[in-house]
Structure 1
Amino acid sequence: MAISQFIQIRRDLHQIPELGFQEVKTQKYLLEYLQTLPQERMEIETWRTGIFVKIKGLKPEKTIGYRTDMDGLPIEEETGLPFRSTHPGRMHACGHDVHMSIALGVLTHFVHHPVRDDLVFLFQPAEEGPGGALPMMESEQMKKWRPDMIFALHIAPEYPAGTIALKEGLLFANTSELYIDLKGKGGHAAYPHKTKDMVIASAHLVTQLQSIVSRNVDPLDSAVVTIGKMTAGTVQNAIAETARLEGTIRTLSPEAMEKVKERIEAILHGIEIAFDCEASIDYGCRYYQVNNDPELTRDFIRFLEKQEDITFVPCREAMTGEDFGYMLKEIPGFMFWLGVGSPYGLHHSKLNPDEKAIETGIQAVASYLTSLSNRK
């Protein structure tokens, strides 16, 4: 199995990034590749724009799952690569092209070298939003091929190519989008007393939101409330009738997430009274924390420490979000970081992962699955 083949697959996929539940070209590309493989031990079923692939084991006693995500981001690519995105305003800026090429490499290995247990590969759409893991968990295909354990990886630009990092327990935070709309009364800038100015209301709101973490969250816990975008008004000499705030919430516990939301809603109610306006709130896409099963994580770490050509490093939890948490909430498993050595981080328009990591990813996952399945 030539690694160069999967590097080329990564480059092909990199050129066709698609947003959540729009991965039509991506799904077609993956299905066409799967059709080139021997079909004797393989079953394929589609789900929306995603794919389930089962590889039947020799004497199955359990089912082991491996998940990869498929979607891109609404980002204009600025890498200058010869295989850069051909979709304007779309980019694989979170490494899902690398994730898919590794998954195909592992899958290809086991089509030719089956192990004792059944393997199920999940090609999941919409990780970046609106969230594909939860509805995929509820699908009929998942009920039929539900794994007994499951794991996945995510690229990490901050680690050298080929390095693997993970930890037991909490790895990724609980996350929620945040959209707040305010509506008052617009009018001429010369007559502010006849209006209800939503620029002023939104400014007060942003300031008050910053008190939530400092005064409402346990200092020994962690939370983030960030407003990343504000829009209000139409022209410079008119009072703004509406305003919109867009942001994100990140916490290290579900309880802290609920507390933060309670405080946001209380503050917003106060803004309505103080500025005589109407307010609405939408939490958009919400992801559950990624919590690695301690026993399975320790087993994987012991495996990595015996590998001469793989570097393992422990890591801390991160405030990033991943909807794989919904799968780990129901199925024991873990997620790990795979270093790709890039000076630009995740979701950056110049992210360019070191493709040497693809070989490490395929080798680590395939070797561990073989070891895991062949144990008595």
Structure 2
Amino acid sequence: MVSTIPTSNSVIASQLRSDIRKLQPLLVEWRRHLHQRPELGFKEHLTAQFISQKLQEWNIEHQTEIANTGIVATINSGKPGPVLGIRADLDALPVQELNEVPYKSIHDGIMHACGHDGHTAIALGTAHYLATHRQDFSGIVKIIFQPAEEGPGGAKPMIEAGVLKNPDVDTIIGLHLWNNLPLGTVGVRSGALMAATERFSCTILGKGGHGAMPHQTVDSIVVAAQIVNALQTIVARNINPIDSAVVTIGKLNAGRAFNVIADTARLSGTVRYFSLDYQDYFSQKIEQIISGVCATYGANYEFNYIPLYPPLINNQEVADLVKSVAESIVETPAGVVPECQTMGGEDMSFFLREIPGCYFFLGSANAEKKLAYPHHHPRFDFDETALGMGVEMFIRCVEKFCS
């Protein structure tokens, strides 16, 4: 449910400098152009072309085709100072859009259902502003346009390609438009903001047979059912109750006929947790349970475990900087949400493992305009007033960090 904090577009606009207010119509135009042309991870060729074209128009130095479709723009103030990184993601989701809006996706089965089109527009607006206001900061700002956040993950290959080097980035920040918070709010905290994301799959190898003669079989469905129940005890009886973790079985397939005992059953799921103390724990514990249950019932198994993204952990000092910037923009004390967390994952976490930084949520829901559908929903959309607020947040962070 989206909390309700009274706000208005005029209140937000009053907190934005005039040059950013003038950018707002362009931010909306860019976002809608991108929304109409969504692309999946590592296939963001039209998106990258659009970004590069804008950067060329503004005479901003940039590199293209990093980790396939990634781009890094470098804006040098011409004065000595720190190097600040700003990250935005580019990709969309394999979702069929149900919104009836003029900027509806023209790519069948693909949709910007998570706000990445807005992230890209905000990053472009930030680049445009900084390129025309180099006198207002010192050092260098590197804006990283990253592919494939939704999967399989573009942050790690971009880091491996050297985007944090030459010049070396001292600190990195990023934002996520967030429909779990209303427009005019900012969710920021130090420590874990988003969870580790890991996935697993298991095939139970039993012995099939006639439904009337179960004594001649090893029923893979019964074994799978026992495993599903047993896996729920990991969090309930093995994880410290003060810590947060989730084990979810999202898929279970078995059987082909009502009177045949299935010889195989396949299940898959996801694991989420905040604490680095649980790295490697779940993979070992899940397989231990699967092995034990299979041994009890005389089945065999094949197990596969894939750690996707580590927990996203914000640096205390950088989070404090972002929080102070947010407090200078939002109108009410409740506008800064310090304990905003989610068990969702984000590969911004790879950047934050390398250098100190902060990722934060920018409230974008507006229930009165029916812009409050959750992320990844086929009717997801957000209040575009948040775009200008996102640029203002980034610019004030630049000016405070690169002073």
TM-score (norm 1): 0.92
Q: 1:25 maps to which residue? A: 46
Q: Residues 171-250 of structure 1 correspond to what in structure 2 (within 5 A)?
A: 171-250=193-272
Q: 1:46 aligns with which of 60, 65, 73?
A: 65
Matched letter for residue 43 of structure 1: H
Asked whether the 8 Å contact 2:37–2:46 carries over to 1, the reply is yes
- Distance in 2 (CA, whole Å) between partners of 1:74 and 1:52 is 26
Using the TM superposition, name which of 25-34 and 7-16 deviates more: 25-34
CA apart distance, 1:8: 1.6
- Alpha carbons of structure 1 residues 366 and 309: separation in structure 2 relative to 1, 3 Å: farther
CA RMSD of aligned residues (A): 2.0
Asked whether the 8 Å contact 1:120–1:145 carries over to 2, the reply is no
Q: 2:385 aligns with which of 356, 365, 369?
A: 356
Aligned residues: 372
Where structure 2 has 5 or more consecutive residues not aligned to the other structure, the ranges are 1-21, 366-370
Matched letter for residue 350 of structure 1: R
Q: 1:319 maps to which residue? A: 343
Asked whether the 8 Å contact 2:231–2:289 carries over to 1, the reply is yes
Asked whether the 8 Å contact 1:176–1:249 carries over to 2, the reply is yes
- Distance in 1 (CA, whole Å) between partners of 2:348 and 2:148 is 11
Matched letter for residue 84 of structure 1: K
- Distance in 2 (CA, whole Å) between partners of 1:25 and 1:187 is 53
Residues 252-294 of structure 1, C-alpha deviations (whole Å, 9 max, x = no match) = 2122243332210100111331233332222335211111111
- Distance in 2 (CA, whole Å) between partners of 1:283 and 1:68 is 28
Q: Residues 300-319 of structure 1 correspond to what in structure 2 (within 5 A)?
A: 300-307=322-329, 311-319=335-343
Q: Residues 145-160 of structure 1 correspond to what in structure 2 (within 5 A)?
A: 145-160=167-182
- Alpha carbons of structure 1 residues 256 and 140: separation in structure 2 relative to 1, 3 Å: closer
Asked whether the 8 Å contact 1:272–1:279 carries over to 2, the reply is yes
Asked whether the 8 Å contact 2:185–2:330 carries over to 1, the reply is no
Asked whether the 8 Å contact 2:372–2:382 carries over to 1, the reply is no
Asked whether the 8 Å contact 1:163–1:312 carries over to 2, the reply is yes
Residue 361 of structure 2 aligns to a residue whose secondary structure is: strand
CA apart distance, 1:224: 0.7
Residue 81 of structure 1 aligns to a residue whose secondary structure is: coil
Where structure 1 has 5 or more consecutive residues not aligned to the other structure, the ranges are none
Matched letter for residue 164 of structure 1: V
CA apart distance, 1:318: 2.3
TM-score (norm 2): 0.86
- Distance in 2 (CA, whole Å) between partners of 1:155 and 1:244 is 36
CA apart distance, 1:194: 3.6
- Alpha carbons of structure 1 residues 2 and 220: separation in structure 2 relative to 1, 3 Å: closer
Using the TM superposition, name which of 104-113 and 43-52 deviates more: 43-52
- Alpha carbons of structure 1 residues 200 and 334: separation in structure 2 relative to 1, 3 Å: same
- Alpha carbons of structure 1 residues 177 and 164: separation in structure 2 relative to 1, 3 Å: same
Q: Residues 44-123 of structure 1 correspond to what in structure 2 (within 5 A)?
A: 44-47=63-66, 48-114=68-134, 115-123=137-145
Using the TM superposition, name which of 81-90 and 166-175 deviates more: 81-90
Q: 1:333 maps to which residue? A: 357
- Distance in 2 (CA, whole Å) between partners of 1:28 and 1:190 is 63
Asked whether the 8 Å contact 2:197–2:271 carries over to 1, the reply is yes
Using the TM superposition, name which of 135-144 and 310-319 deviates more: 310-319
Asked whether the 8 Å contact 2:364–2:382 carries over to 1, the reply is yes
CA apart distance, 1:308: 6.2
Residues 158-198 of structure 1, C-alpha deviations (whole Å, 9 max, x = no match) = 22213212112221122212222222233443444443322
- Distance in 1 (CA, whole Å) between partners of 2:190 and 2:250 is 31
- Distance in 2 (CA, whole Å) between partners of 1:207 and 1:102 is 45
- Alpha carbons of structure 1 residues 270 and 165: separation in structure 2 relative to 1, 3 Å: same
- Distance in 2 (CA, whole Å) between partners of 1:308 and 1:186 is 63
Matched letter for residue 25 of structure 2: S
CA apart distance, 1:309: 5.7
Q: 2:273 maps to which residue? A: 251
Using the TM superposition, name which of 75-84 and 243-252 deviates more: 75-84
Q: 1:279 maps to which residue? A: 301
Matched letter for residue 33 of structure 2: D
- Distance in 1 (CA, whole Å) between partners of 2:39 and 2:210 is 43
Matched letter for residue 269 of structure 1: S
Residue 35 of structure 1 aligns to a residue whose secondary structure is: helix
Using the TM superposition, name which of 215-224 and 20-29 deviates more: 20-29
- Distance in 2 (CA, whole Å) between partners of 1:285 and 1:71 is 21
Residues 42-72 of structure 1, C-alpha deviations (whole Å, 9 max, x = no match) = 2323211211111122113221100011112
CA apart distance, 1:147: 0.9
- Alpha carbons of structure 1 residues 129 and 284: separation in structure 2 relative to 1, 3 Å: farther
Asked whether the 8 Å contact 1:63–1:119 carries over to 2, the reply is yes
- Alpha carbons of structure 1 residues 135 and 314: separation in structure 2 relative to 1, 3 Å: same
Asked whether the 8 Å contact 2:89–2:145 carries over to 1, the reply is yes
